[in-house]
Amino acid sequence: MAQYTPMIQQYLRVKADYEDAFLFFRLGDFYEMFFDDALKASQILEITLTSRDGGSEDRIPMCGVPFHSAKGYIERLIAAGHKVAICEQREDPKQAKGVIKREVVQVITPGTMMEGAGIQEKENHYLASFEISGNEYAVAAADLTTGECRSAVFQSFDSALHELASFGVKEVITNGKWTLEETKQINGRLGAVVSIEEQESEIEFEPLIKELTHSLVRRAAARLYHYLHRTQKRNLDHLQPAEQYEIRDYMNIDYFSKRNLELTETIRSKGRKGSLLWLLDETKTAMGGRLLKQWIDRPLINEPDINRRLEIVETLIGSYFEREELREQLKEVYDLERLAGRVAFGNVNARDLVQLKKSIGQIPALTEVLKKISGKEVNQLADKLDPCTELYDVLDRALINEPPISVKEGGMIRDGFHERLDDYRDAARNGKQWIAALEKEEREKTGIKSLKIGYNRIFGYYIEVTKANLGLLEEGRYERKQTLANCERFVTPELKEKEALILEANEKMIDLEYELFSQLRGNVKEFIPRLQELARKVSEIDVLQCFAAVSESRRFVRPKFSKDRTMIIEEGRHPVVEKVLDAQLFVPNNCLMGPERDMLLITGPNMSGKSTFMRQTALISVLAQIGCYVPASKAVLPIFDQIFTRIGAADDLVSGQSTFMVEMLEAKHAIMNATDRSLILFDEIGRGTSTYDGMALAQAMIEYIHTNIKAKTLFSTHYHELTVLDQTLEHLQNVHVTAAEQNGKVVFLHKVKDGAADKSYGIHVAQLAGLPADLITRADELLHSFENKEEKPLVVNEGQLSFFDESVPVKEPAPKEDKSLISTLLSYDIMEMTPMEAMNTLYALQKSAKKTGN
């Protein structure tokens, strides 16, 4: 340390406490970075790297950004997965003795962003604490922008990881004792930053964790709150008590199934467009949009709760004009949750408070519209809306309608709100009028029409006369103050006296306005719990009106629920595909599964619509259990406790697993966790390995699910040999997606009918895909060759391999007296043969039969 200057020593002492963050060190009008921070930040931010003398032999690397434009640079660093510690000057440089006192006032991390491009209006911005103890895994996730905190306990690492993925967490807090593999999973699977918080004491945050009953969950929430207060270094009055939820209280859809069903984002683009959330989102408020996503992530399983939502949706559908009026009112409601968060955080400005005033000003109108609607549940929603009248009144009296963004330059408070402020304003306004009058008077007395009275911060008010007119001035009339190239500037005692009055009034006026604004902000803080409760109610109204609007416009129907696991979907549709294609082009299908029919084995060609049929069945169930109408002409559904899917093919590059291994792991997850109240969608299981292995696995899974689990299952396959299973499995039925052949080309009819498909149409699909004509012709020749039972299945060209491997020996039987084919066949030990040996032996028998005629 001794080799550096006192200022660099101060920097190094501060930096030692924030080694995992870029330290923005305030020097005058700039935030400066030194040493490694400067080297890394200059590359990431693409700013100039310089150096300075810090007292050592070598110059110190340095880079910096202007403090007034630092926000954009900070956002770029956060987006790149870094943290930023803001170190401010804490005393006036003019009064400092020695090095100016500096300290870190906030640490901004990927999970603690309060504003900026990284904060999406209709999405929560979560960070989470993750605790592990034995076979239990606790998660506590909080959104600092809204103050929400949710927590739960899980029985496996993967389950907890899937929940964090559903939250979309940006940062995970741990105790720092995790294994390298566990940390790698968080980084790789979630793309989240891992941070360490050692403090886990619960005493300080007892009011926030009092509702948590599980000790591991309490520890996770306490660690999370410690981290938030340590990094943000301020009172966070908007943090709400942590809510503990039970996974079994909601329909459980694991992360892979949510991805496969494209509930909130599409597989290909990772964006909203094309997802169920995109289709449904007719919400008018940002907080309503966030609640909609939460509902989709956690469908209900309690039938009375589901029916309550459906009842409100039905009422709103039947009240078109009131609903449209309601939607117009909701447009005027700003984000109450995040406004309350900004108030607590201390970064709210006058414009934010005006938005808050306008928002709560809409509540009486919302209540009135809801009261017009004849429906018990809707009227109860209206009764629960708190208009916060006292807060509206004080904001209305205090703030002008269009205040400036800055809170330290005045111009926010209404005239008449505060007597002393009015006095200062009067003095300032009269002083300026006096200046204008003096200028006019001096022009008349001197005869200099270009004479003017100006102002700057260095000299204050002055009288300016051009050099061409200096001869018109009487000697001694003014006191010379400044000489410029083209003019002279003067003052008078009277002007200086008035200047003192005006500047004093302006200065005191601005200081008093900021003081009044701070008091107002403090008053609003007291309303934060009421505002958060109001936000919850308005969000619920917004989502339910959204369901009504979508259900009516998309021709959805109200679902009913069965007690005996009956599923009747008549003319069901995939809501997203229907919207993208146009409703007139989409072919609806029935899905009928009574109490004794648990499994549909679906066959049909590629591109015929098998996956769409399976997905639409799951989406209809999700829609029903979030309380929305569904895309069908009739829907009677069981209430599912879980949905499992295995659709599509994808490698898991993070853990180095192949497509087939991922397929098997997802299948295992379903088979090990599903119940008879679950829904399973398996699409072409076993295609990632050899034909015989794949077919064997598929059949074994079908039998196991059918016999042991009895879950409602849709199982699509290209193994047509499996369609005979309906003869031995009483709860399985074959269905197929139809296609027709016209003029040598396949036409997909997209209609699901009972029975098995008669052929695959694989070559026709390849033709539709645009593969070369000679390739299609050759494939057709080979297909006919394979299907020809009188010749060897594959006639090869020179250089091609035979379909049968000549290197695999035929297992000839031991010589016997009876040489008939029957006795020969009976002599084989089939269970000891490999598939290739069996095929070659069968070929040899066929040749022998042709020769002998036996």
Give 656's contacts (C-beta < 8 A, 6+ positions apart). Answer: none
- Span 91-131, pLDDT tens digits: 888 787 889 999 999 999 999 999 888 899 999 999 999 99
Residues 610 and 715 in one domain: yes
Q: Which amino acid appears at position 509 of this protein?
A: M
The burial of 751, by beta-carbon neighbours within 10 Å (0-12 exposed, 13-18 middle, 19 or more buried), is given as middle
347 is in an annotated binding site: no
Per-residue pLDDT band for 456 (boundaries 50, 70, 90) equals confident
658 is in an annotated binding site: no
CATH number, residue 238: 3.30.420.110
**Number of domains the chain contains:** 6
* pLDDT at position 854 over 60: no
Which DSSP helix (H) or strand (E) runs through 105? strand 102-108
User: What would the mean pLDDT of 538-547 be, rounded to a whole number?
Assistant: 97
Quick check: is 742 in a domain? Answer: yes
CATH number, residue 466: 1.10.1420.10
Residues 706 and 655 in one domain: yes
User: What would the mean pLDDT of 426-447 be, rounded to a whole number?
Assistant: 88
Residue 799 is predicted with a pLDDT of: 36
604 is in an annotated binding site: yes
Per-residue pLDDT band for 652 (boundaries 50, 70, 90) equals very low
Residues 748 and 801 in one domain: no
Residues 760 and 613 in one domain: yes
129 is in an annotated binding site: no
Per-residue pLDDT band for 808 (boundaries 50, 70, 90) equals very low
Identify which has the larger pLDDT, 629 or 721: 629
Q: For residue 71, which of 52, 45, 35, 97 has the smallest C-alpha distance?
A: 45
Residues 482 and 515 in one domain: yes
Provide, rounded to the nearest whole percent, the portion of the chain with pLDDT above 90: 64
Residues 609 and 731 in one domain: yes
Residue 626 is predicted with a pLDDT of: 98
Q: For residue 595, which of 669, 676, 528, 519 has the smallest C-alpha distance?
A: 676
Quick check: is 374 in a domain? Answer: yes
- For β-strands 84-89 and 22-27, DSSP reports them as parallel
Identify which has the larger pLDDT, 772 or 444: 444
Identify which has the larger pLDDT, 558 or 434: 558
Quick check: is 451 in a domain? Answer: yes
**Boundary-marking domain end, from 201, 234, 249:** 249
Residue 284 is predicted with a pLDDT of: 97
| DSSP string of 369-403, one letter each residue | HHHHS--HHHHHHHHT----HHHHHHHHHHB-SS-
Residues 548 and 564 in one domain: no
Q: Are 380 and 483 in contact (CB under 8 A)?
A: no
- What is the sign, positive or negative, of the torsion defined by CA atoms of 525, 527, 533, 534? negative
81 is in an annotated binding site: no
606 is in an annotated binding site: yes
Residue 790 is predicted with a pLDDT of: 38
User: What would the mean pLDDT of 737-743 be, rounded to a whole number?
Assistant: 77
Residues 319 and 177 in one domain: no
Beta-strand (E) ranges in 117-263? 126-133, 136-143, 148-154, 171-174, 193-196, 243-244, 252-253
Residue 256 is predicted with a pLDDT of: 85
Q: Are 247 and 139 in contact (CB under 8 A)?
A: no
- Span 814-839, pLDDT tens digits: 444 445 677 777 777 666 666 666 76
Residue 428 is predicted with a pLDDT of: 80
Q: Are 679 and 640 in contact (CB under 8 A)?
A: yes
Q: Residue 106, SS3?
A: strand
d(CA 92, CA 101): 9
Identify which has the larger pLDDT, 808 or 412: 412
Residues 96 and 44 in one domain: yes
Structure tokens at 17: 């406490």
Quick check: is 156 in a domain? Answer: yes
Quick check: is 753 in a domain? Answer: yes
CATH number, residue 32: 3.40.1170.10
Buried b (16+ CB within 10 A) or exposed e, 667-680: bebbbebbeebbbb
Per-residue pLDDT band for 662 (boundaries 50, 70, 90) equals confident
- Span 4-50, pLDDT tens digits: 999 999 999 999 999 999 999 999 999 999 999 999 999 999 999 99
Beta-strand (E) ranges in 417-477? 452-456, 460-466
Neighbours of 370 (CB within 10 A): 24
608 is in an annotated binding site: yes
Residues 515 and 536 in one domain: no
- Span 466-482, pLDDT tens digits: 999 998 888 888 999 99
User: What would the mean pLDDT of 52-81 be, rounded to a whole number?
Assistant: 93
Quick check: is 267 in a domain? Answer: no
Residues 614 and 648 in one domain: yes
Identify which has the larger pLDDT, 598 or 658: 598
* pLDDT at position 794 over 60: no
Whole-model pTM?
0.83
Per-residue pLDDT band for 500 (boundaries 50, 70, 90) equals confident
Quick check: is 825 in a domain? Answer: yes
Residue 809 is predicted with a pLDDT of: 46
Average pLDDT, the chain: 88
d(CA 714, CA 452): 87
Q: Residue 747, SS3?
A: strand
Residue 815 is predicted with a pLDDT of: 44
Quick check: is 821 in a domain? Answer: yes
607 is in an annotated binding site: yes
CATH number, residue 588: 3.40.50.300
Residues 28 and 149 in one domain: no
Q: Residue 728, SS3?
A: coil
Q: How many residues does the chain have?
A: 854
Q: Residue 577, SS3?
A: helix
d(CA 190, CA 694): 31
* pLDDT at position 691 over 80: no
- Span 217-241, pLDDT tens digits: 999 999 999 999 999 999 899 999 9
Residue 837 is predicted with a pLDDT of: 64
What's the domain range around 156?
A: 126-249
